[in-house]
Structure 1
Amino acid sequence: MDAALDITPSSEHIPLILIVDDDAVSNLMLSEVLHKDGYKTSVVEDGQAALIACQKELPDIILMDAVMPVMNGFNCCRSLHILYGENCPPILMITGLNDTDSVEHAYKVGAVDYVTKPFHWAVLLGRVRQAISSHLAHQKLKQALAKERLLLKELKIANQQLHSLATIDGLTSITNRRVFNERLEDEWKRLCREQSQLGLILIDIDYFKAYNDTYGHLNGDKCLCQVAKIINDCARRPADLAARYGGEEFALILPNTELEGVIHVGKLIQEQLRNLAIPHVSSKVKSIVTVSIGAVAIVPAFSKSPQTLINCADQALYHAKNNGRDCVIALSNSMIVE
């Protein structure tokens, strides 16, 4: 026998057998024989008492007479399976009934085996060992599967956390520069094939260093999060992507969007930020937080790279800053569009 399923007295776990029979002599004999074979036993005299005993401690196996007062073995067996389902201990029917209907009834209500009186002790002990061995193996398998499910769940959570760390900006909770670069590359290639416009907005918070110096870095972080939320809310289509570009700079990719639409989104960001009216007494533009925005939309070409689009948007942003800030400057065919 496999050592993992050893049920001798030297085992770490000594199986508990519940004997359910109203015959006191039979109970005494069973207990003595089972004790000698290395088992612990508990004895009750009817099915109702067996249900109560199982509530206190679930045995490893139940030896149950079929005919008893209060609740017979068939009804008790059925009730135990209803109560404990897959965790129900194996039940061996031990009875003087040996007709076909009784045997079939025993198996129908969930008994794993059927032994008739008077006992052939070697046969009874062999069937007890086999039933307990199978039950313990089943329990070990269930525990192993439960552990595996738990490990898989923990692995899934860990993978989600790693994915979040790799793709989400830890402060603002929008996508990071890495995802921005990957998405821009993908959209550039896709729209090269489709020959459709790819829009890009670069956003810079005006005089943000002065904001930090005045209000402190904790409020500065809060401000970044508020601006990021506005930008992300303006990325309304599934393909649009808002990202933290770096420091107080943000970016918004707008696939299949012409310049007029890109400018509209830029102005919408400004409008939403003005409505929020975050105080900024150190700004040289207004007494609230404002942003400078560079906007561009071009039809990608295989002969160029996505950096072309970034350079154009960056150039537009540069003009926005030099134009007094708090404005949207767009670039079309190297021409400034205010």
Structure 2
Amino acid sequence: MNAVLQTDQSLVLIVDDEPFIRTQLRLSLQCEGYRIAEAQDGREALTVFEKLHPDIVLLDAIMPDMDGFDCCTQLQSLDCGKYTPILMITGLEDRESVDRAFEVGAIDYVTKPIHWPVLRQRVRRLIQQSQLQQQLESANRELQRLVTIDELTQVANRRRFEEYCAQEWQRMAREQLPLSLILCDVDFFKSYNDTYGHQAGDRCLQEIAKAIKNTVKRPADLVARYGGEEFAVILPTTNPEGAIVLAETICSAVKILEIPHCNSLVSSYVTITAGVSTEIPEPNSDFQAMITAADRALYQAKTEGRDRVKHYNKQSSSTIPIYPFLP
């Protein structure tokens, strides 16, 4: 392997079994300010590619052992090769070879003998296109994140909660596994705002959201701001016992924050109350029943004194309103 590096410039990987051709390409592209790495065959190219992550690959089509077509296919299969353009350099001009180059993932090709001004322009254009594509996809990912994240608390918003709830409900229905939901409500939050001010209330919600997020460890679990001072946690493949334990841990994590609340009727610090429900979804059913059940459990926990966890009990639910409200 032979690499000549210059700072703050795009890296070009040249793959060719002929040293003279590699030297010509290297000298020509160095004059344009590119950094250069070289590989003398397809297998070495794969190793260099994974190590250096070049911005473009100039790949000879005809090489011994592993030709450029096979090498191109393998480069495309690498995780780090998603955005890297591959420019095939070939002495073949027949239709079949050109078609094959594009089929295996080459973005463009040039023929031997190389027309140097054309090569320089294509390298520049392909690198610019690749960079623009990466910037666009990064901007799209950030936009998607912004429309699904609650601005104040930086956990998922209500929209993302409902999307994920529907998604996991259908998945659990297919696999016939339990889906659990925790609904949390900050106790006497209106009184907290009245006492300490809305800015302090915002900071309080931020700290609580952070504590909940730090408590919920599994990647598949989702923490969301359900609305106002309410938070929700979606727990795929979680039975009632596991959901109750996690809800109790979340309540404890909030208590540990020791956020003063002099007008709370249950503690001198901010506390939360949680309602838990668990369902094994039936095919073609709706997740709203699970939300209603968690809401009923939350209401029951409030009526019993707040600062506690209550799991939905169908046997005792008949006396509990479907859409209760307690501040």
Provide TM-score, normalisation by structure 1: 0.58
- Which amino acid in the other structure matches residue 256 of structure 1? T
Provide TM-score, normalisation by structure 2: 0.59
1:211 paired residue among 167, 176, 192: 192
Closer, same or farther: CA 242–334 of 1 in aligned 2, 3 Å: farther
Check conservation: 1:201, 1:252, Cα contact below 8 A: yes
Closer, same or farther: CA 290–236 of 1 in aligned 2, 3 Å: same
- Which amino acid in the other structure matches residue 322 of structure 1? T
Q: What are the ranges of 5 or more consecutive residues in structure 1 without an aligned counterpart?
A: 1-79, 90-133
Structure 2 residue aligned with 1:113: none
- Which amino acid in the other structure matches residue 281 of structure 1? C
Structure 2 residue aligned with 1:221: 202
User: Map of 1:55-94 to 2, 5 A cutoff?
Assistant: 86-88=29-31
Closer, same or farther: CA 137–310 of 1 in aligned 2, 3 Å: same
Aligned length: 216
Check conservation: 1:208, 1:248, Cα contact below 8 A: yes
Displacement of 1:151 after TM fit? 1.6
Residue 185 of structure 2 aligns to a residue whose secondary structure is strand
1:148 aligns with 2:91: no
User: Map of 1:149-168 to 2, 5 A cutoff?
Assistant: 149-168=130-149
- Which amino acid in the other structure matches residue 197 of structure 1? P
Closer, same or farther: CA 197–142 of 1 in aligned 2, 3 Å: closer
Structure 1 residue aligned with 2:58: none
* Percent of pairs with identical residues: 43
Closer, same or farther: CA 155–214 of 1 in aligned 2, 3 Å: same
Structure 1 residue aligned with 2:261: 280
- Which amino acid in the other structure matches residue 258 of structure 1? N
Q: Distance in 2 between matches of 1:142 and 1:259?
A: 59
Residue 245 of structure 1 aligns to a residue whose secondary structure is strand
Check conservation: 1:81, 1:88, Cα contact below 8 A: no
Structure 1 residue aligned with 2:229: 248
Displacement of 1:205 after TM fit? 0.7
Structure 2 residue aligned with 1:94: none
Q: Distance in 1 between matches of 2:141 and 2:174?
A: 33
- Which amino acid in the other structure matches residue 282 of structure 2? A
2:178 paired residue among 179, 188, 197: 197
Aligned Cα root-mean-square deviation (Å): 2.7
Q: Distance in 2 between matches of 1:334 and 1:296?
A: 13
Structure 1 residue aligned with 2:155: 174
Closer, same or farther: CA 198–334 of 1 in aligned 2, 3 Å: farther
Structure 1 residue aligned with 2:302: 321
Q: Distance in 2 between matches of 1:220 and 1:314?
A: 23
Closer, same or farther: CA 195–144 of 1 in aligned 2, 3 Å: closer
Q: Distance in 1 between matches of 2:122 and 2:238?
A: 57
Q: Distance in 1 between matches of 2:303 and 2:170?
A: 33
Displacement of 1:137 after TM fit? 4.1
